Amino acid sequence: MAQWWAGVSETFARCFINEGRYKLLISGIGVTIKVSLLAIVLGMVIGFLIALCNLSKKKPLKIIGKVYTDVIRGTPSVTQLMIIYFVVFATINWAKWIIAAIAFGINSGAYVSEIIRAGILSIDRGQTEAGRSLGLTAKQTMMYIVIPQAVKNIFPAMGNEFITLIKETAIVGYVGLMDIQKAGDFIKSATYEAFMPLVGTAIIYFVLIKLLTIALTKYEAYLRKSEKR
Amino acid sequence: MGKESILEIKNIRKSFKDHEVLKNVSLNVDRGEVVSIIGPSGSGKSTILRCATLLERMDGGTLKYKGDIAASDESGTMVYADRNELKRIRRCFGLVFQSFNLFPHYTVLKNIVEPVVLSGQCDADEAKERAMGLLERLGLEEKAEAYPGKLSGGQKQRVSIARALAMKPEILFFDEPTSALDPELTGEVLKVIKSLAAEHMTMVIVTHEMKFAREVSDRVIFLENGEIHSQGTSEELFASDNERLNAFIGKLEQR
Ligand SMILES: Nc1ncnc2c1ncn2[C@@H]1O[C@H](COP(=O)(O)OP(=O)(O)OP(=O)(O)O)[C@@H](O)[C@H]1O
Ligand SMILES: [Mg+2]
């Protein structure tokens, strides 16, 4: 038993302590969070615009929205990431993490747009009609009446999208970014240990997402409470 | 002084797919007039109001408010006025829905104030004053800070009437304002509408409340299958010996 424990702690030290390897993981967490956060924001902005295109009565806008969602949903995110990084931004000298975040934002936008569209359509048509009959413009009705109510319905699905997005960023290693996944992988290669680095990676993602889930659940409960007033 | 025409509907037609819901319906309403529309379910009563309030596009006919053309058919195609003109015309009318359609994310007060402010009628302070005045008049001043979810059906409908009135419409449309209410709550809403009639508010009311229609209306219109079957003052209509009309009224009065 004592011997087993000694073995385990030796491997642990080799994987996470020696040569400051924990620092790799910590900076990896930083990269994952940075990329995810910026991508979430971009995804929401793009998603909102695409949702408006999809809901618009104007034909060209409808087509743009449809093509966008079709293309993004119909291709793997790794392929999208690599095209954005090696083709679209090939000659533009921005920080890697920003380019990666743009790629994930573009990807997430397609899914967010569907969530927002469904959320807006879930609001009773009578709300729009009341707004219009009270002299609000179509835009005002959308902004002041429909969207504030849709946000509450959208929230759970949006939370899921954030979580999916964070997990999706585990492919940024393909464009040379050292995120959590890539750090784990790097330690695996350097130490010839598979179990600890990979399970360690999984645990870090799990904790990160658990924390986010708790925060989202709390916030959702808060929204529900304010709705019942 | 002659009568001032507020609403002029001429020969409007409306179909959903190949189902012709309105066939050449015409209706004029002068200032101060109270017109009730009665008729069986599916006869097109709501559709008339929805066309008149620009919620539904019509397929033919003319719609005018105070002489200004909102929509008319020119050689077979409907032409609606431009956006600014329609925005101006929308100010002429208000609509009270069967299902209230209060904004659940706003307090009662904000339900009334926000549209007034957003449509640029006046600033927030004035709108608030106007709203409080209306709430007081309708006996709802303690509910100003409540959310619609906490109100009874009758209170909700009174708030929605206040909300429509705050826009100072020249004509107010009601689509079955008491149909979603428990019977014991209809009275408080009908009382409000009667008090508006006493002040000569111009109104078009779709209702199944025959006794109320009879008391409140200057004119009653009986709609059937998308056509005006008969119309007249409430005395005329309710004393009519028309079989179809009597059958309809009799059925409702028995309830
Ligand atoms: N958006 C729509 N699409 C298709 N058909 C519709 C639509 N709105 C109304 N109709 C049809 O038009 C007809 C008239 O409807 P309308 O709502 O005007 O009747 P109503 O007289 O108000 O009836 P009720 O007393 O039940 O409210 C009905 O047969 C209805 O099914
Ligand atoms: Mg109806």
Domain definitions of chain A by residue range? 21-227
Residue B252: per-residue pLDDT: 73
What residues of chain A have any CB closer than 8 angstroms to a CB in chain B? 124, 126-127, 129-137, 140, 144-145, 148-149, 227-229
Closest-CA residue, ligand 1 atom 2, reads: B16
Among the residue ranges A60-69, A118-127, A151-160, B91-100, the one predicted with the least confidence is: A151-160
Residue B2: per-residue pLDDT: 67
Among the residue ranges A88-92, A119-123, A194-198, B238-242, the one predicted with the least confidence is: B238-242
Rg over alpha carbons for chain B, rounded to the nearest Å, is 18
Q: What is the Cα–Cα distance from A138 to A120, expressed in whole angstroms?
A: 14
Residues 6+ apart with CB under 8 A from B29: B5, B6, B7, B8, B35, B171, B202, B204
Among the residue ranges A105-109, A149-153, A197-201, B31-35, the one predicted with the least confidence is: A149-153
Among the residue ranges A16-20, A80-84, B193-197, the one predicted with the least confidence is: A16-20
Q: How far is the CA of B207 from the centre of ligand 2 (A)?
A: 9
Q: Say yes or no to pLDDT of B253 above 80.
A: no
At B55, list the tokens.
Answer: 């919620």
In chain B, residues with a C-beta closer than 8 Å to the C-beta of A143 are none
Q: Would you list the domain boundaries of chain B?
A: 5-92+170-253, 102-168
Contact status of B149 with chain A (Cβ, < 8 Å): yes
Tens digits of per-residue pLDDT, B23-39?
Answer: 999 999 999 999 999 99
Residue A222: per-residue pLDDT: 86
In chain A, residues with a C-beta closer than 8 Å to the C-beta of B171 are none
* Rounded alpha-carbon distances, angstroms, from residue B171 to A137, A170, A226, B227, B243: 20, 61, 36, 23, 32
Among the residue ranges B22-26, B86-90, B111-115, B251-255, the one predicted with the least confidence is: B251-255
Residue A225: per-residue pLDDT: 77
Contact status of B119 with chain A (Cβ, < 8 Å): yes
Residue A40: per-residue pLDDT: 96
Residues 6+ apart with CB under 8 A from B146: B107, B108
Q: Say yes or no to pLDDT of A22 above 70.
A: yes
Average of per-residue pLDDT across B163-187: 95
Tens digits of per-residue pLDDT, B41-69?
Answer: 999 999 999 999 999 999 999 999 999 99
Q: Say yes or no to pLDDT of B102 above 70.
A: yes
Residue of chain B minimizing CA distance to A151: B105
- The beta-carbon neighbor of B115 closest among A124, A127, A135 is A135
What ligand 1 atom has the least distance to the C-alpha of B50? 18
Tens digits of per-residue pLDDT, A42-74?
Answer: 999 999 999 999 998 899 999 999 999 999 999
Rg over alpha carbons for chain A, rounded to the nearest Å, is 22
Confidence tier at B246 by pLDDT (50, 70, 90): confident
Q: Say yes or no to pLDDT of B255 above 60.
A: no
Average of per-residue pLDDT across B147-168: 95
Average of per-residue pLDDT across A138-166: 93
Question: Do residue B119 and residue A227 have CB atoms under 8 angstroms apart?
Answer: no
ipTM of the complex as predicted: 0.92
Average of per-residue pLDDT across B122-145: 94
Residue B240: per-residue pLDDT: 80
Topology of the domain comprising B5-92+170-253:
Rossmann fold (3.40.50)
User: Options 3.30.70.420, 3.40.190.10, 1.10.3720.10, 2.60.40.10; which CATH number does A21-227 get?
Assistant: 1.10.3720.10
Question: Do residue A130 and residue B55 have CB atoms under 8 angstroms apart?
Answer: no
* Rounded alpha-carbon distances, angstroms, from residue A161 to A28, A36, A67, A122: 21, 11, 20, 18
Average pLDDT, chain A: 93
Q: What is the Cα–Cα distance from A227 to A206, expressed in whole angstroms?
A: 31
- The beta-carbon neighbor of A126 closest among B97, B149, B150 is B97
Residue A136: per-residue pLDDT: 94
Confidence tier at B161 by pLDDT (50, 70, 90): very high
Question: Do residue A127 and residue B103 have CB atoms under 8 angstroms apart?
Answer: yes
Residues with CB under 6 A from ligand 1: B 16, 21, 39, 41-47
Confidence tier at B1 by pLDDT (50, 70, 90): low
Ordered strands of the B219-224 beta sheet: B93-96, B171-175, B202-206, B34-38, B219-224, B227-232
Residue A2: per-residue pLDDT: 86
Residue B74: per-residue pLDDT: 85
Residue A229: per-residue pLDDT: 53
* Portion of chain B with pLDDT greater than 90, in percent: 85
Ligand 1 pocket mutation, candidates B20, B47, B228, criterion most atoms within 8 A of CB: B47
Q: How far is the CA of B175 from the centre of ligand 2 (A)?
A: 7
